[in-house]
């Protein structure tokens, strides 16, 4: 069935156009003024907006509304309240008041707080984020009006991802405007970070998924031998989309378009059963909201098609994992992209200043940027030959790197490397204009024409943390630049000097080579760049004096909010790893080892029976198989018995940081020791008795 995108796009969103149609002109102007410039609407206006929003949602079939927020779990939360009022004379009315729209109360006791609230206090508040439009979500529980909100504690501490994000956007806008004013731009009233998040994911058959306790409990396979074929032939990447997957994608697109999410790209990714989608850029806070909605919708739509959408960063060992490239740029409300170099970037002083400030920001806060992409699943992906290394660097490409070299060396004039043309040699194919640089897929932070692509974010992770950090560190660099330039007697001379100083001091962060190579690890160490190999290593970056000074300067986080987030990250790592270890113990004890014992018993009985019936028969193959299987069975049993008491000892350690470190250094290797013999057994034991679907079953039978 054909779909008219323009008819359905945004049809489930209480958009600006819908408000213009449904609100009185004066109310609409008041709402738009607050949305664009800040402030508060009157309670009378809120009542009018709430009633219009309720009427619109009811026409869409909504029966309930919810304050939709993003707690520190990394996913979204919602509590549904019906529009019903108290019955009078056996009748009731549907109602949504301005007070209900603007503010709500949620029990915060069961959300992570990292110590921001006492355990015996539970009150939390949600407050309407006017900059993110309300929408209706069509669920099995009914059609729900979702009102995007922040989530704070009784004393105002941020208990969510959205509050710091909005604070960081405000900080970046304020400091970027100071720079623009110095260049004579008086028209811009706001600078907005724009984000587009590419989303990778796997699809597997639901019936097979339900036979894998590891996928159910942890989102990834904790056991599994490689299939005979993986991604070696490169035939999956951009290949023809299989019918069942195509049907899912078509359904998903329609659902996302109705929610106003501008998904434009879909394709097969490198690994079997792996795929990707990508949206058009949108303001940062909307991009975060929309990516959370996208992940939720992907899971829901997959179920309709008898599939399960796996968002874990590494659901299968031996093939590519999934990431989420966070494409980030900054632009004005008048349409100017501050990261657009123009045709002559060597003469574009404003671009060069912004670029130099970003170099400074990434170099000074490389540890924070690495931390912002840390989640448990990314432990299994970052640093492998499929994702950026844990070492933060910037790839500018040959053209911009040459310009930086010339500026640092105080060249008399900056020469621009020509982009050139590309002639394929085919007369019927036009000559192509080649970009100024090739695309480096091994770099964490790459300039790609008029934006930076932060490639480290995990596929299951919220992009909020990465963008909070990006906005904050760039705001600081722009602030420091403005402090200097606003006092300079000769702006142009001072600006050129500052660009030179920033680039000279922070040139070490630029690397255009192979980020996967051992040589880069050694070179990065020589340059003094941090190499934070794991989440546990990266978390301390949140609470350094440097980080506290940065975030408190712009009111993005308080010291206690930073400490809380560090505590939550350690706690999440511990809990997730413990669940994985317990799942391995369960699967090994209840499924794999009993299956192998039964198999070896039958095999031994068969050997005895054949030997008795045919005394001269050659049973060397059977005996060799029995010996091999028995050896691996013994290894698995020993590894299992070592893992159990080890976890008990680690759980007795006091201090979240110390316990997290012990899980990483002791429990994770013990888990690998248990996995090895069971994966080996999978390749030896008769498939007809093997208790779980294999990698081949999961990745190739969709």
Angle value at C-alpha 463, between 457 and 465, nearest 5 degrees: 95
pLDDT tier for residue 536 given thresholds of 50, 70 and 90: very high
Question: What is the three-state SS of 529-586?
Answer: CCECCCHHHHHHHHHCHHHHHHHHHCCCCCHHHHHHHHHHHHHHHHHHHHHHHHHHHH
pLDDT tier for residue 368 given thresholds of 50, 70 and 90: very high
Q: What's this model's pTM, rounded to 2 decimal places?
A: 0.95
Angle value at C-alpha 462, between 562 and 257, nearest 5 degrees: 145
pLDDT tier for residue 428 given thresholds of 50, 70 and 90: confident
Q: What is the pLDDT of residues 258-293, one digit of tens each?
A: 999 999 999 999 999 999 999 999 999 999 999 999
- In the predicted model, is pLDDT for residue 1 greater than 60? no
E-state strands within 113-206: 123-128, 135-139, 142-153, 191-197, 199-205
Radius of gyration over alpha carbons of the chain, in Å?
A: 28
Instruction: Give the mean pLDDT of 623-646.
Output: 96
**What per-residue confidence (pLDDT) applies to 570?**
97
To 10 degrees, what angle do helices 464-485 and 349-364 make?
A: 120
**What per-residue confidence (pLDDT) applies to 437?**
64
Q: How many CB atoms lie within 10 A of CB 150?
A: 22
- In the predicted model, is pLDDT for residue 90 greater than 60? yes
- Counting DSSP H helices and E strands in the chain, the numbers are 24, 18
Cα–Cα distance measured from residue 99 to residue 25, given in angstroms and rounded to the nearest whole number: 21
Instruction: Give the mean pLDDT of 319-345.
Output: 94
Structure tokens at 238: 């951009």
Give the three-state DSSP class for 128. strand
DSSP 47-114: HHHHHHHHHHHHHTTEEEEEEEB-BTTSS-B---EESB---BTTB--B---HHHHHEEEEE-TTS--T
DSSP letter at 380 equals: G
Q: How many CB atoms lie within 10 A of CB 57?
A: 26
Instruction: Give the mean pLDDT of 367-388.
Output: 88
pLDDT tier for residue 423 given thresholds of 50, 70 and 90: confident
**Tokens 């792996």, located at residue:** 274
**What per-residue confidence (pLDDT) applies to 119?**
62
How large a percentage of the chain has pLDDT more than 90? 80
pLDDT tier for residue 14 given thresholds of 50, 70 and 90: very high
Q: What is the pLDDT of residues 154-207, one digit of tens each?
A: 888 999 999 999 999 999 999 999 999 999 999 999 999 999 999 999 999 999
Structure tokens at 587: 């699967």
**Tokens 């110390």, located at residue:** 658
Q: What is the pLDDT of residues 451-495, one digit of tens each?
A: 999 999 999 999 999 999 999 999 999 999 999 999 999 999 999
**What per-residue confidence (pLDDT) applies to 587?**
98
Lowest-pLDDT choice from 31-40, 64-73, 105-114: 105-114
């Amino acid at each position: 069935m054909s779909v008219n995108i323009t008819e359905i796009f945004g049809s489930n969103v209480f958009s600006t156009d819908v408000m213009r149609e449904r609100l009185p002109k004066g109310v609409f102007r008041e709402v738009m003024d607050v949305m664009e410039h800040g402030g508060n609407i009157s309670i009378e206006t809120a009542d009018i907006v709430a009633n219009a929003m309720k009427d619109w949602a009811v026409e869409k079939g909504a029966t309930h509304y919810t304050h939709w927020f993003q707690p520190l779990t990394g996913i979204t939360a919602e509590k549904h309240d019906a529009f019903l009022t108290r019955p009078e004379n056996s009748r009731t009315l549907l109602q949504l008041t301005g007070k209900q729209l603007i503010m709500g109360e949620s029990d915060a006791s069961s959300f992570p707080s990292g110590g921001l609230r006492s355990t015996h206090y539970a009150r939390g508040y949600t407050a309407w984020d006017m900059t993110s439009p309300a929408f209706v979500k069509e669920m099995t529980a009914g059609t729900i009006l979702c009102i995007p909100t922040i989530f704070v504690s009784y004393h105002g501490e941020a208990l969510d991802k959205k509050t710091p994000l909005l604070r960081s956007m405000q900080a970046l806008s304020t400091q970027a405007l100071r720079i623009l004013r110095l260049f004579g731009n008086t028209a811009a009233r706001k600078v907005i970070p724009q984000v587009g998040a590419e989303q990778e994911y796997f699809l597997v058959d639901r019936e097979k998924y339900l036979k894998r306790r590891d996928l159910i409990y942890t989102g990834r396979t904790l056991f599994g031998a490689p299939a005979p074929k993986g991604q070696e032939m490169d035939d999956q990447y951009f290949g023809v989309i299989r019918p069942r997957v195509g049907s899912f994608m078509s359904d998903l697109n329609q659902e996302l378009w109705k929610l106003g999410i501008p998904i434009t790209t879909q394709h097969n990714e490198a690994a079997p059963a792996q795929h990707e989608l990508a949206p058009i850029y949108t303001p940062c806070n909307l991009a975060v909201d929309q990516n959370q909605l996208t992940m939720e919708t992907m899971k829901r739509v997959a179920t309709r098609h008898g599939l399960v959408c796996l968002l874990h960063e590494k659901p299968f060992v031996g093939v590519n994992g999934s990431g989420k490239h966070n494409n980030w740029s900054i632009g004005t409300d008048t349409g100017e992209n501050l990261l657009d170099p123009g045709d002559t970037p060597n003469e574009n002083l404003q671009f060069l200043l912004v670029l130099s400030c970003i170099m400074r920001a990434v170099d000074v806060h490389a540890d924070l940027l690495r931390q912002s992409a840390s989640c448990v699943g990314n432990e299994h992906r970052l640093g492998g030959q499929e994702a950026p290394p844990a070492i933060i660097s910037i790839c500018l490409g040959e053209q911009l790197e040459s310009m930086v070299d010339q500026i640092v060396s105080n060249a008399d004039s900056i020469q621009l490397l020509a982009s050139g043309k590309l002639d394929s040699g085919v007369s019927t194919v036009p000559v192509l204009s080649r970009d100024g640089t090739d695309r480096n897929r091994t770099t964490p932070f790459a300039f790609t024409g008029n934006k930076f692509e932060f490639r480290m974010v995990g596929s299951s992770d919220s992009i909020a943390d990465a963008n909070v950090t990006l906005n904050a560190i760039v705001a600081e660099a722009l602030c420091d630049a403005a402090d200097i330039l606003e006092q300079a007697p000769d702006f142009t001379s001072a600006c050129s000097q500052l660009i030179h100083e920033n680039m000279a001091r922070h040139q070490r962060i630029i690397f255009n080579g192979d980020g996967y190579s051992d040589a880069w690890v050694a070179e990065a160490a020589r340059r003094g760049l941090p190499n934070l190999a794991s989440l546990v290593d990266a978390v301390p970056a949140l609470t350094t004096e440097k980080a506290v000074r940065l975030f408190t300067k712009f009111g993005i986080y308080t010291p206690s909010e930073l400490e809380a987030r560090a505590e939550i990250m350690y706690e999440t790592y511990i809990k997730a790893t413990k669940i994985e270890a317990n799942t391995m113990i369960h699967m090994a004890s209840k499924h794999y080892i009993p299956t192998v014992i039964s198999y070896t018993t039958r095999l031994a009985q068969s050997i005895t029976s054949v030997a008795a019936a045919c005394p001269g028969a050659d049973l060397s193959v059977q005996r060799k198989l029995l010996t091999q299987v028995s050896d691996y069975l013994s290894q698995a049993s020993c590894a299992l018995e070592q893992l159990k008491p080890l976890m008990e000892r680690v759980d007795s350690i006091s201090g979240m940081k110390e316990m997290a470190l012990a899980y990483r250094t002791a429990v994770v290797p013990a888990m690998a020791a248990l996995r090895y013999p069971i994966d080996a057994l999978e390749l030896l034991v008769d498939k007809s008795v093997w208790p779980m679907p294999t990698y081949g079953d999961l990745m190739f039978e969709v």
